[in-house]
Each structure stands twice: as structure tokens, then as C-alpha cells.
């Protein structure tokens, strides 16, 4: 079973969300995978009303604050997201890190808050082009992952990880399946160290960065790639579902 996650970013308000799910037709092949959609928080209620009763589609939020409540204008908390029907939360997406200055420490606190609320975090890590060119891929992604796992310390619940090279997000550039497998192998090793072999083996590692129907099959067939996190191509239900159709069927 592959995990096919769609991050809508700042697209699709409640009415567009309804129109999206009217065009969302799930085949048996797609139903054999786990689909997770991350709409904007204001569209979560509409998404739950349209898709929430279908066990094949799970919903999440794109970001939460690390506190459960308080004077944090414009923020939402993990318990609120859960109350609104979310089961997952993205944490540490590169746009949060690079456009909004989110630090490793904040990522750790958010992971902790997500677990505390009973949600499942999808922790995103990835290097910039500059870091990659300087030979710092391993340093950067393992530092980001270990920091996030610090927030997972007391929790025994599942989590997901996404490797999303920053240079591949929204640029049309995609990592090769080999690049993805290499990075995923490094992340898997760090998960084994931190969580033990069994829990590490049960933690899906997704690839993200310009995944489209045309390149999904080869990425999803690559060793250690357990699924994909899709931005731009998830905005259209047809292309999102075509990506899910490209995933190898569970044996
Ligand atoms: C993302 O936002 O997580 C992402 C991978 O975006 P895109 O597919 O558009 O590169």
C-alpha cells in the first residue's frame, strides 16, 4: 500500500473544495492505497463533509501552532484541527521553514503538539540546492529529522516522513528515483536509530517535489519510496488520482 498525499497549499476555498470532491472518483486500485488530502484549514469542514465518510480518503491540516490555545492571532492548534475532522498534520514543510522562518526547534514543538492532540504528523525535510551542491544533503536532512523526532520522544503513535528537496518543490525539477532512494535510505537509518527497527520499518517515507502523473510510476517503484507528497498536481482531482493509479498495487 502506498501513501498518496496532496498538499493544496493556499488553493481551493470551501466552494472549490466541494467542486473538487464532486469530481473525485475512486477506483478499486486507488482504494488499495492511503490517500491523504491537506486542504487549507478554512476548507477542512467542507472536505470532511464531502470526503470524510469515505474510509479511503483521510484529511489533514498544513500547519498547526505548538500551543493548544492562546493569544496567537491567525494560528490554529492541533486540538482544533482534530475537532474539525483532521487526522494528520504536515509539520516543517519547506515553505513554512523558508518563507515563514520555522526553525527545527519549532518543528519539534509542533510534532509534540500534534501527537498530544492524537493526530499523525507528516514531517517534511529537505535540502536546498545550495546545501546539496555543498555536499550537505545528509547533514541537513538528518539534522531536520532528528530535531523533529525529539518532539516524538514520548509518543508511541505512528508518524510519516516526507523527503522534499527544496529545489524540486514547485519548480518542475524532480529528483531521480535514485536520488530519492538514496535520501530515503539515510532517513530510514536515522529512524532505526531513533525509534528501533520495527517502528522505523512501519514509518512510511514519501518523496515530494514536482511529482506528476508522468513521473509518479518510476518514483513510486523506487526502493524505499513508500509514497508521494504532491503539491501542484494534487490541485486537479484527475491528476491526483492518476498519480495514485500509478502506485504499485499491494502484494
Ligand atoms: C509540496 O508542496 O509538498 C510539493 C511537493 O509541491 P510540488 O508537487 O508542487 O512540487
Q: What is the pLDDT of residue 125?
A: 98
Q: Which atom of ligand 1 is nearest to the CA of 232?
A: 9
Q: What is the pLDDT of residue 137?
A: 97
Q: What is the pLDDT of residue 106?
A: 97
Q: Which atom of ligand 1 is nearest to the CA of 168?
A: 10
- Does 209 contact ligand 1 (Cβ within 6 A)? yes
User: From ligand 1's centre to the CA of 201, what distance in Å?
Assistant: 25
Long-range pairs, 79-84, Cβ under 8 A, ≥24 = 79/117, 81/41, 81/44, 81/117, 81/119, 82/117, 82/118, 82/119, 84/41, 84/44, 84/45, 84/48
**Protein residue closest via CA to atom 6 of ligand 1:** 231
User: From ligand 1's centre to the CA of 83, what distance in Å?
Assistant: 27
- Does 121 contact ligand 1 (Cβ within 6 A)? no
Q: What is the pLDDT of residue 188?
A: 97
Pick the closest to residue 51 from 18, 82, 83 (CA basis).
18
- Walk along the chain (251 residues) and give the pLDDT tens digit of each residue: 999 999 999 999 999 999 999 999 899 999 999 999 999 999 999 999 999 778 889 999 999 999 999 999 999 999 999 999 999 999 999 999 999 999 999 999 999 999 999 999 999 999 999 999 999 999 999 999 999 998 787 778 999 999 999 999 888 888 999 999 999 999 999 999 999 999 999 999 999 999 999 999 999 999 999 999 999 999 999 999 999 999 998 87
CB 13 within 8 A of CB 43: yes
Q: What is the pLDDT of residue 159?
A: 96
Active site annotation includes 164: yes
- Does 165 contact ligand 1 (Cβ within 6 A)? no
- Does 211 contact ligand 1 (Cβ within 6 A)? yes
Q: What is the pLDDT of residue 172?
A: 85
Q: What is the pLDDT of residue 152?
A: 81
Pocket test for ligand 1, best of 100, 205, 229, 243 (most atoms within 8 A of CB): 229
Q: What is the pLDDT of residue 13?
A: 98
- Does 230 contact ligand 1 (Cβ within 6 A)? yes
Q: What is the pLDDT of residue 132?
A: 94
Q: What is the pLDDT of residue 114?
A: 97
Which of 65, 112, 164, 184 is the catalytic position? 164
Q: What is the pLDDT of residue 242?
A: 97
Q: What is the pLDDT of residue 57?
A: 95
Q: Calculate the alpha carbon distances from 41 to 2, 11, 24, 34, 58 in Å.
A: 25, 11, 20, 21, 14
CB 32 within 8 A of CB 73: no
Amino acid at each position: 500500500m502506498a501513501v498518496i498525499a496532496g498538499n493544496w497549499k493556499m488553493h481551493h476555498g470551501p466552494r472549490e473544495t466541494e467542486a473538487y470532491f464532486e469530481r473525485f472518483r475512486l477506483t478499486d486500485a486507488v482504494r488499495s492505497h492511503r490517500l491523504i488530502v491537506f486542504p487549507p484549514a478554512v476548507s477542512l469542514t467542507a472536505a470532511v463533509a464531502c470526503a470524510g465518510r469515505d474510509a479511503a480518503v483521510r484529511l489533514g491540516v498544513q500547519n498547526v501552532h505548538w500551543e493548544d490555545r492562546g493569544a496567537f492571532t491567525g494560528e490554529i492548534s492541533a486540538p482544533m484541527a482534530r475537532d474539525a475532522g483532521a487526522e494528520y498534520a504536515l509539520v516543517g514543510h519547506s515553505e513554512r521553514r523558508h518563507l515563514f522562518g520555522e526553525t527545527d526547534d519549532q518543528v519539534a514543538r509542533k510534532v509534540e503538539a500534534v501527537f498530544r492532540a492524537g493526530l499523525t504528523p507528516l514531517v517534511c525535510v529537505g535540502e536546498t540546492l545550495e546545501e546539496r551542491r555543498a555536499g550537505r544533503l545528509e547533514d541537513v536532512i538528518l539534522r531536520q529529522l532528528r530535531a523533529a523526532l525529539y518532539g516524538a520522544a514520548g509518543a508511541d503513535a505512528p508518524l510519516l516522513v516526507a523527503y522534499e528537496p527544496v529545489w524540486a518543490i514547485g519548480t518542475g525539477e524532480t529528483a531521480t528515483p535514485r536520488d530519492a532512494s538514496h535520501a530515503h535510505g539515510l532517513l530510514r537509518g536515522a529512524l532505526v536509530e531513533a525509534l528501533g527497527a520495527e517502528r522505523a520499518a512501519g514509518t512510511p517515507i514519501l518523496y515530494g517535489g514536482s511529482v506528476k502523473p508522468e513521473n509518479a510510476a518510476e518514483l513510486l517503484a523506487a526502493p524505499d519510496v513508500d509514497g508521494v507528497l504532491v503539491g501542484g498536481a494534487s490541485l486537479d482531482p484527475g491528476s491526483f488520482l492518476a498519480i495514485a493509479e500509478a502506485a504499485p498495487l499491494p502484494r
